[in-house]
Each structure stands twice: as structure tokens, then as C-alpha cells.
Structure 1
Amino acid sequence: MNSINIEIPSLSENIRMIESFIDNAKERFNLNDDIYGNIMIAVTESVHNAIRHGNGGDAKKNVQLSLVLLDDAIRFTIKDEGEGFDYDNLPDPTSPENLETPGGRGIFLMKHLCDEVNFLNNGQVVELIFYIN
């Protein structure tokens, strides 16, 4: 099985390492530009959420990112050391009262860019799945 893992301290500047990780995956697995763009946005957004919300920006806590290449999909798993969150009761970022609100669009974006989004372990773990064939 083809898999790659990276672990970063919860600092927003470490998003650059995640971008490099995705660039390397694009080369290694010959990902097309459309899926690459979706992966870049969705995965960096998810890691940013893990750093900011999951780990509260605590540099002593880490975020783990793993990628597994399956027969017909590529699966990214993002894991933080936080308490998790109530992913079933998030405000709708498209409703009028939330349009001006900063934030709140990350998970909405992920759900539109990925073929599947799964929340595991009370929301501490997010799986982003992209179909490749």
C-alpha cells in the first residue's frame, strides 16, 4: 500500500510543509491539476482547522497528516490532539445571518471539494477522500 505520513507542531506557518507534502504527492502519484487544486485547498483547510480549533494553536500539540493511495481514491487523514467538536451542528455558512461571519466555511468547502468527508473519534480525526478514476 502506498502511504506517506507527516507530523507537524501546531503553528500556522507549518502549513507550508503541508503544501510541500501535497506537491510531492502530486508528483509521486501523477495527480491531475483539477484534483490537485481540490486536495490543496481541502487538506490545508483541514490542517489549519486542526491547528487552530483542535489544538488551540498550542505548539506542544501536533497535527498528523497521512495519505493513502487506494485503487480508485486517495485518502487524507488529519488528526489533532484536541477534544473533538460537534460536526453535526455547525452553522450553515450560506445562510444570510452567517454570510458576513469570518470563518465557518472550512468544512463547507471541504464537503464541496472532496468526494467524501468523514469525521471520526468525536471529530479529532477527519478523512478527506478524492476519487481518482
Structure 2
Amino acid sequence: MSARPSNLDPKIADRLKRTADGLVPAIAQQYDTGEVLMLGWMDDEALHRTLTTGRCTYWSRSRQEYWVKGESSGHQQWVKSVALDCDADAILVKVDQVGAACHTGDRTCWDADVLDPVVGERPSGGPGKP
């Protein structure tokens, strides 16, 4: 259970697998394009607020407080859907992002430090292919 009091439905809370500090990683994704925007952290109450307000609420690990995305910057996230992964240890929030999602001012948190991996190729003629 989360260490902080929460109004989250117990049916959902009982399913969550949290970190030692009571948090679950939450990925924000643009609902219509699939663009991955950011990763934040939610505890039970942040998830409850996200599910009931239509706005993404996260737990700030550095400030130890709740924050609604865009409340001060204007770069809001309007919730379109929320899902747990198969292990209930991660949350996917599909949002309509207004402006930048990253605290640096970039649209996404994943466009500034792109690494140079070896690119894998699926073999031709795999299962079910001639």
C-alpha cells in the first residue's frame, strides 16, 4: 500500500505493484500519434486524482509533493485513457499534451540524448513466412 493516504479504489490499489517508496512509473503518451512524451511517478493518490480529474497528477520525488502537469507551465496533459500493464507495475496514460512535455521545454523527454545502437533486422522468411 502507498504510505500516503489515498482515495484510490481498493480494487485498483490491491492490484498495484509499487517500488519500495510506494510509487509506480507512469508513461505519458500522446493519444493520437503514439508519441512517447515522458515518464513520471504516481502513488495511489496521484493515480486516483488522474483517474478522477481528467488531468495527469504525479508525485514529485525531489519535492515530495503532488503536481498536476502544466499547472504552472501551461503545458497540460488531458487524460484520454489510463491502463495498467500486465504485471500492474507500470501505468500508461494516453493524453492530449498541450505544448512541451519535458521540463527542459522539449516536446518529449526522449529527443535530446539519442544513443547510437546497432539496428536489428527481422530475418526474412520467419515463422509463417515463405
Looking at both structures, which has the greater relative contact order when contacts are Cα pairs under 8 Å and sequence separation is at least 6? 1
TM-score (norm: length of structure 2): 0.31
TM-score (norm: length of structure 1): 0.31
Structure possessing the higher radius of gyration over alpha carbons: 2
